[in-house]
Structure 1
Amino acid sequence: MPAYRAVVFDFFGTLTRSVQRGPQHAEIARALGADPEAVRGVLDRTFRARAVGRYGDAAATLRWVIEQAGGRPRQAQVRAGVPARVNALKADTRLRGDAVSALSAIRRRGLRTAVISDCTHELPAFLPGLPVGPLLDAKIYSVRLGVCKPDPRIYLAACRALGVSPGECLYVGDGGSHELSGAAAVGMTPVRLAAPDLANHLVFDADTNFAGCTVRSLTEVIGLVDHTRLEPATVV
């Protein structure tokens, strides 16, 4: 029997390839009467606040962002901008080539799977429809829970949803949001995904001092499940 009962994944940069904002974001900004670079700046500096829902629902948050960037959007523009934002983030999202096969292999071994994502309102709108959606037993979104990684509550929410203890979980992530040290702190075994494409990934609060196990692909996680009970990570 494998040593672990569940594998918990980050989403952006882990189940997906590296993420950068595509051209649709600039188009949305212009349609709402704001300068795209000003909007980009607001998005970058307010990510964590938006990811815990500080500015309200999707429409209220979009209006707030545009107003901070100097725009004064009409209600109809904001209404149209909400689905446009969902489409823009979905367009930025490219699943890793081995995401579906790795999740499927893990589930065939009898392990449960979950995703924990620091995200804004858009991800819950489109993740369930992606090919990985049916392969995840639990989906924990910061914007719905009201806390971001590395807050212990976000990891423990995943454990409750899966019916496992933290010590029975591998946590796989690229290291944004200090997620690996946060996973270790609650008793999970963290694994860094260091795929080559992540050099260009849009990341906030990277876990730069992580010194635990590292893999180069999601496929390698299957081998960890099969053969290894990892030593606890070292975070310096």
Structure 2
Amino acid sequence: MKTGSWLRAFLFDFGGVLAEEGFRYGLYAIADRNGLNPDDFLRLATEVIYESGFITGDADETDYWAMLREKAGISGTDSKFRNEILDRFIIRPSMLELVGNLRGRGMRCVILSDQTCWLDILEQRYHFCRYFDAVINSFHAGKSKRDPSLFIETVDMLGLEPGQVMFIDDNEGNIARAASMGLQTHLFAEETGFRKALKAAGLPLLVPRGHFTEKEG
């Protein structure tokens, strides 16, 4: 890993990094209510969100749930399913404080997320986008992190070289694709591990507590 003096920007995944993984746990709840194996249903629902085109804005939410109902045999309304997921995306305040610390040291911080219109709804609830220099949502970008070129396009947007950017995600496939494009990467498991990675890169952080509160205006 290069030292912090070389790093200029950080790309953060949303669910599982900046917030609890609402998609996974919401789908687990839907599976439980429909008598399905949670992990099998998660894998199916994940593939369908890409296959349907919902993740890249080529289909809407109605199309997604219709396809998933057909493939999995689940019952329930779109709004009920949506709320099961969105209510479990709980923002991690200390991660936003960490982002603020990085930006205070001159680093650029970007959300790079395979998300849908749900991220827009979550922004209306929690107002987290103001903590970042940019937000790249696959739903609006028309391209997901399964396409490695998205990483280079993001780096180019920042006017940087790939090695000057660290990508943080909890998905091993996304991490591998970013690394193949020359980005520095961190496979996120918990905040403590990320802080250790920053310290190893020459960026130890002291983060004040209590700066962010959910649903603040």
TM-score higher than 0.5: yes
Instruction: For residue 59 of structure 1, report the CA deviation from its aligned partner.
Output: 1.5
C-alpha distance in 1, partners of 2:37/2:203? 49
Structure 1: gaps (5+ residues): 196-214, 229-236
The CA deviation at 1:181 is 1.5
- Please, what TM-score do these two structures have when normalized by structure 2? 0.70
Query: What is the match of residue 114 of structure 2?
Result: 118
Cα distance between partner residues in 2 of 1:180 and 1:147? 16
In 2, distance between residues paired with 1:160 and 1:48? 29
1:180-226 CA-partner distances (Å, limit 9, x unpaired): 2211111111122232xxxxxxxxxxxxxxxxxxx734444553564
Distance 2:50 2:11 in 1: 19
SS in 2 for 1:180: helix
**Do structure 1's residue 141 and structure 2's residue 137 form an aligned pair?**
yes
TM-score, structure 1 normalization: 0.65
Per-residue CA distance 1:23-45 (angstroms, 9 max, x = gap): 99539x97xxxx46389855531
Q: Match of 1:170, SS?
A: strand
Q: Which residue of structure 2 aligns with residue 208 of structure 1?
A: none
1:223 aligns with 2:196: no
Q: Render the CA deviation track for 1:71-127: whole Å, top value 9, x for unaligned.
A: 688xxx5xxx24x44432221122334211100001101111112223344234314
- CA separation of 1:141/1:51 partners in 2, compared to 1, >3 Å: closer, same or farther? farther
For residues 42 and 144 of structure 1, what CA distance do their matches in structure 2 show?
26
1:193 aligns with 2:198: no
Matched, 1:178 2:181: no
- In structure 2, the residue matched to 1:105 is 101
Do the aligned partners of residues 128 and 9 (structure 1) sit closer, same or farther apart at CA in structure 2, a change above 3 Å counting?
A: farther
Give ranges in structure 2 of 5+ residues lacking alignment: 205-217
2:60 to 57, 62, 70: 57
- Mapped to 2, the partners of 1:87 and 1:144 lie a distance apart of 21
Instruction: Say if 2:17 is the partner of 1:21.
Output: no
Q: Secondary structure at the match of 1:66?
A: helix
Residue 149 (structure 2) aligns with = 153
With 54-63 and 182-191 compared, the bigger mean Cα shift is at 54-63
Partner of 1:2: 5
- Residue of structure 2 aligned with 1:169, choices 161, 165, 170: 165
Instruction: Give me the whole-angstrom Cα distance separating, in 1, the residues matched to 2:43 and 2:86.
Output: 18
Change over 3 Å in CA distance of 1:42–1:23 after alignment to 2: closer
After superposition, give the CA deviation of every residue in 1:50-85 in whole Å (9 maximum; x if it has no partner).
146526211221222223334688xxx5xxx24x44
CA contact (8 A) 1:120 1:143 kept: yes
